[in-house]
Each structure stands twice: as structure tokens, then as C-alpha cells.
Amino acid sequence: MKAAMFHGAHQPLTTEDVEIDKPIDHEVVVRVVASGVCHSDLHFVDGFYDFPAPAILGHEAAGIVEDVGSLVDDFAPGDHVIACLSVFCGRCEYCLTGRTHLCASRPVRAKDAAPRLRWQGLPVNQFANLSAYAEKMLVHSNAIVKVRDDLPLDRAALIGCGVTTGVGAALNTARVEPGSVVAVFGCGGVGLSAIQGARIAGARMIIAVDVHDHKLQTACELGATHTVNASSSDPVTSIREMTNGGVDYSFEAIGLKRAAAQCFESLRAGGTATIIGMIPMGQKVELDGSTFLREKKIQGSSMGSNRFKVDMPKYIDFYMQGRLKLDEMITRRLQLDDLNEAFRAMKAGEVARQVLMFD
């Protein structure tokens, strides 16, 4: 099969022929139909996070089951599925207390089994247990969820990471209350999804913050009630003025330590800041310690605190009802060979979401 090979940080990806093993035990082979291009992959290409090469990146995909291992009884060839990097064991303390996204022992292949993926005789590292920039994925059955087949798979793909991460941060991690006041820093795929999560939760005021006017415009189409362009005004001052003192919930969806601090500084007393973005490893976020006396809280959010086998079908129903907008989030559709260009456009802030299509 064809796949985009990652050769290490700061190097372009190349399209290569990769061998994929047959599914064993609890594994499933999925033919990828659509694969979203997520900013998290770019962090590895840019060297802000480490991942060993050779590897296939990509972790936001939807497709159709092609083959299943001998112990799989909940999927069959032809099923439409969404993949999720929150593969879980179902047996650890986190899984047994309903926090499968924090699973402490994600299921991997036995050491003596053949590698799932091989290229030129070398084992290929499987990114996020998925490797979705490829024509097929070989994954554990606890890394996919079956979905209704009347949902177009390019829109389903977005639910695999960006939508689940943003909507879930609002609904699951922060538990935004109806009538509350919210600010979202960063209006890429995840930020736009956090805005939609806040809207679905019933927030009465949703302030979108970004440095690109075209992204703020998309944010308004998806539920933002107010905007701040952080390139022309200080977002903390603007938010405090607009809200008469600060917001109940703020979200950081970029991965910048400065934006994380601003997110916290934008809170009113008792408010909660939720950091979704991937802040580069080793960087410290600085906060004014005295403000903790006002019961301001700051927390991380991982993949929208999802229970994805339950959450993703719900998000699809929201889409079918018109409450979750996905069509507006796809800026353009590309091919596997266009991946380097997709990363360039993402870095330049030109796009919300780009989706690779496999025909």
C-alpha cells in the first residue's frame, strides 16, 4: 500500500510502498477513505515533539473495515468506522473508572509478533497506534468505532481527532454550563470545535480569539458571538472589557505558552482555563500566583476526555441534526502526495481543516 513516510524532524515526507501485516487476534484492517491533517502531526515534523523514524504519521481517519482478526466479533468487513488514537485496554484503573482516554496500558502487538508495518525490510513505527497517512491502517479493535453509514467519511474523519478534542474539551473536560461566558484562543480545527462544544452546551457568549480575520469569520459561522483579533489588541484586556471582568471558561487551542497564560488571565473569579494545545516539550507556563486566591483553575485536556466509542456516535447525531457543523470546517480536499503542501498551508494559517482523500 502507499503511505507517507516520516524520515525525521525537518525532512519532507515521501510517498512510499509499505507492507502491512494481516490482522491477528483483536486487530482490524481498515481501508482509509479520508484522513484529516491535524496540527499535532506538524509538531513532530517541526521537531517540537520526538517520534522515532521511519514512521507513518496521521491520526484523524475514517474508512471501511476490510479484514478482522480471529478474536474480533464486533466488526465485520464493510463496516464504516472512525479511528481514534485513544486506544484502550479496558482493564486498567483508568479504563475501569470511565477514563479510557487516559488508559495506562494501551494494547500493543506482542514483541515476538511480526511488525504491523514494514518498509524496505525495516519495521515502521506506527504513530498514535494508527498511522493514518496511508491507504490502510492495521489497528486494535479498541481504536475504532462503528458509525452509521449515511455520514460522508470525509466529515467522519474530522470527528477522529479535531472535533472530538475540541467538542470534548467543552462538554467532557470543562463541562461548560448553560448560560456561561466562554473564550477560545485559536480558531483552527480544534478551536472551532471547542467553540461548537460551547455552543452545544448553551454558552450565552463565546469569544473567539485569533490573529487571522478569515478564521474569526469562520468562528462566527460556527457559533462565536464575539471576536478578538490578537494581532491588533491585547486579548486579555479586550476580553475583560467585553465581559465586565472575565470569562467562566477559557480554552487554549494553539499550543503556545503565552496563549495559555492569557487564557488563565482572562478568567473571572472561580473560572476554569482548559489547555488543549500541545505546548512544546520543556516549556513552562508562567502564572501570577496571587490570582489563585480568586479560585481560578487551570487544567489540561487530552483528546477531549473522550470515551470515543460512546462520544463519536453522539457527535454524528449532532451533525445529522445540524447542531454540529463539519462541512464548514473543511477548507480543501487533497491527495496523499500533497501532504507537505498541506503542512505548509497549515503553518501559514491559511486553512481550518484539510482532508486527504483516498479513492
User: Rounded CA gap, 259 and 283, in Å?
Assistant: 13
> Is 161 one of the catalytic residues?
yes
Out of 161, 187, 238, 266, the active site residue is 161
Q: Which stretch binds Zn ion (CB under 5 A): 92-100, 172-180, 215-223, 250-258?
A: 92-100
Q: Is 55 in the site for Zn ion (CB under 5 A)?
A: no
102 forms part of the interface with Zn ion (CB under 5 A): no
The three cell numbers of residue 103 are 488508559
Please name the helix (run of DSSP H) or strand (run of DSSP E) that holds residue 221, with its range, or none.
helix 213-222
Burial class (CB in 10 A: 0-12, 13-18, 19+), 220: middle
With CB under 5 A as the contact rule, the residue among 3, 55, 68, 95 that binds Zn ion is 95
Instruction: Please report the sign of the dihedral spanned by the C-alpha atoms of residue 209, residue 59, residue 276, residue 98.
Output: positive
Q: Which of 357, 352, 356, 359 is nearest to 327 (CA)?
A: 352
43 included as an active-site residue? yes
Site string for Zn ion, 12-41 (x = CB under 5 A): --------------------------x-x-
Cα angle for residues 109, 115, 121 (degrees, 5° grid): 170
Q: Does 103 bind Zn ion (CB under 5 A)?
A: yes
Catalytic option among 26, 59, 80, 101: 59
Name the segment binding Zn ion (CB under 5 A); options: 90-98, 140-148, 202-210, 321-329: 90-98
Q: Which is nearer to Zn ion, 92 or 334 (CB)?
A: 92
Span interacting with Zn ion, options 101-109, 124-132, 151-159, 287-295, rule CB under 5 A: 101-109
Q: Which stretch binds Zn ion (CB under 5 A): 6-14, 100-108, 274-282, 322-330?
A: 100-108
How far apart, in whole angstroms, are the C-alpha atoms of residue 32 and residue 188?
Answer: 23
Answer yes or no whether residue 92 interacts with Zn ion by CB under 5 A: yes
The three grid cell numbers given for residue 343, joined into one nine-digit string: 503542512
Give the residue among 143, 113, 132 at the shortest CA–CA distance from 6. 132
Phi/psi at 37 (nearest 5 deg)?
-100, 110
The yes-or-no answer on residue 59 being catalytic is yes
Contact footprint for Zn ion (CB under 5 A): 38, 40, 88-89, 92, 95, 103, 161
Query: Would you name the residues annotated as active-site residues?
Result: 38, 40, 43, 59, 161
